Amino acid sequence: MSGLTEAMTSWLAEHGIPEWLIPFLVSILPIIELRGGIIAARLLDMELFKAIWVCMLGNILPIPFILLFIDKFFGFVKKHKIPLLTKFVIFLENKAMNKSAAMEKGEFFFLLFFVGIPLPGTGAWTGSLIAALRKIPLKKAVPAIFLGLCLASAIMCTLCYGFPEIFTKMFS
């Protein structure tokens, strides 16, 4: 993921995208999300607190739409049997439900750590998808996802800003 983030950051910078907007755009993307946004901000030598706010805002922006509308969108796609998209929706549903099988109890903490531990296939997008498909109440899902983003931000900022020698070795 770091190679993709580095390439995307360079491409956006070369095409005149303002520095503050690059980590925001990287953070808004599924899969890459805040983890990649913090890396992009560090590559651009963005100040730490600015990076946190820009990346958090970028990653939070799509979450309400996923929580409120994804099940309706998936239902529409499956009902109308839209080619290729139906298979993709079923794939996403299966992936989200498989990742959430262990959360029968402790939904709040499962979502918090699922979103917060920066591993491949985890993050706010997938956590929101899981919450929506499992019909976790918004009053439980939203705080868990937000706190998970705070945890992911703390971990990524520590890795990228707190240990610059590790960061330098990753990108040399």
Residue 99 is predicted with a pLDDT of: 63
Work out the pLDDT band at 101, boundaries 50, 70, 90.
Answer: low
> Into how many domains does the chain fold?
2
Based on the fold, state whether residues 19 and 52 are members of the same structural domain: yes
70 shares its domain with 37: no
Residue 81 burial by CB count (10 A; 0-12/13-18/19+): exposed, middle or buried?
Answer: exposed
Instruction: Judge contact between 52 and 156, C-beta under 8 A.
Output: no
Q: Identify the domain containing residue 145 by its residue range.
A: 63-151
Within this chain, do residues 67 and 146 fall inside the same structural domain, yes or no?
yes
Residues 31 and 98 in one domain: no
Choose between 20 and 169: higher pLDDT: 20
Mean pLDDT of 28-56: 95
Q: What is the pTM of this model?
A: 0.85
DSSP string of 32-62, one letter each residue: THHHHHHHHHHHTT--HHHHHHHHHHHHHTT
* Selection from 106, 116, 105, 104 nearest residue 146 by Cα: 116
What's the pLDDT band for 106 if we cut at 50, 70, 90? Answer: confident
